[in-house]
Amino acid sequence: MRKIIINGNKKLNGIVNISGSKNESLAVMCGALLSDDKVILRNVPNIKDVSIMKDLIDEIGYKVKSSDKIIINPPSNKKLEINEQASEIRNSILLLGPLTAKYGRVIIPLPGGCSIGNRPINFHIEGLKKLGAKIKIINGLIHSEAEKLVGAKIRLDFPSVGATCNLMMAASLAKGETKIFNSAKEPEVQNLAKFLNQMGAEIKGIGTDTLIIQGKKELSGTEYSIKPDRIETITYMILGSFPMNKINIRNTVKEDLSEVIETLKRMGVFINCKNNEIMVEGRTNQLKSTAIIAKPHPGFPTDALTLITPLLSYAKGISKITDKVFPERFSYIKELNKMGANTQQLEYNSVKIMGSHQLFGAKVSCHDLRGGMALVLAGLFAKGETIIEDVHYINRGYENYIEKLQSLGADIKQETY
């Protein structure tokens, strides 16, 4: 087991370079399986979730090479029964669509990942059934078969990112036209569509809530570079917002961050965007409270709602956060309260945060990826020593974050216990 030890309340400043997107990398790696040719992926972050996905793809029979880039070569022999390691990450469900479309069958464990509330996979399964797949769940395993997928009209009850990605990949090899209504519009979804088009798919409506996919008999190999991770960018934007901090964030895409930028500015944070850089400076000791509702893109991201909570604990006044994407992901709030935050659960999906509170070091535990990083942000601002346990959640999604924080002046280290 690993723990993080932080001696907080240090002024942090400097430059941080953003790594490739975790969620985009995992989706694109699954999309690469639709091709019979070599696919080369650049700017893939070196994180635990990517390592697990590489192992799963390698086990299927694809030859995966990794150094400064990931090279995925088509398999000579295929094993379409995925092992239990798939249950460790949520995004393993993204193997379901492409493998069903490409090979006509797959058996995969139900996905795992972070404990942030109910995240049903029925949108994935019902959508694939409309394309012609026969799917059963037996003893925790998803059995999917399809002689040939055929295009269909699919309307999602909720704009699920994962379901949109899965169905888009499957439809790329289905016969005829598929229309996905109420599709997710997150940047990771848009970039996956662009990647598939680069392989020869025909996907229109990218960035809208209706995707139109003309199925192809085959897709070709390609070279592709993963875009910067917007949630990592948001993490360092929030860190730079604390008083006296000043962080220059490089290699990012500001167009993906408009809601977060406007929210931080409304609170009194100084932000200057130029090309692919964002300068964030906590110039004031009187940050303003605010109300934030997490919604699907282009709304305020659910992950960012978790990350901004420590900052709201410091801001003057009473803030309210409401999550309409994952309404049960508030387990980290109890841990923040151990550090001196003053919060009150309102409805099942919202929390009131009484601000103007200095946080103090404490012993706390991670329950999920973004909640764990929220505790790191809190510990960096808090007075005294913070010990964070179960940090394997954070290691799943942030590349070299200890070294990046140390380069900004943080007194932080990771140890085994």
Q: Which residues are catalytic?
A: 114
Cα 151 to Cα 160: distance, rounded to the nearest angstrom = 19
Choose among 311, 26, 334, 320: nearest CA to 195. Answer: 26
Q: What is the rounded (10 degree) CA torsion for 403, 305, 312, 404?
A: 10
Looking at residue 110, the DSSP 8-state letter turns out to be: P
Helix (H), strand (E) at residue 15: strand 13-17
DSSP H helices in 199-301: 230-241, 258-267
Residue 369, classified by CB atoms within 10 Å of its CB into exposed (0-12), middle (13-18) or buried (19+), is buried
Q: Where are the alpha helices (H) located in 242-330, listed in sequence order? A: 258-267, 302-314
| DSSP H/E element including 395 | helix 392-395
Pairing of strands 2-7, 385-389: antiparallel
Which of 82, 4, 84, 71 has the alpha carbon at shortest distance from 35? 71
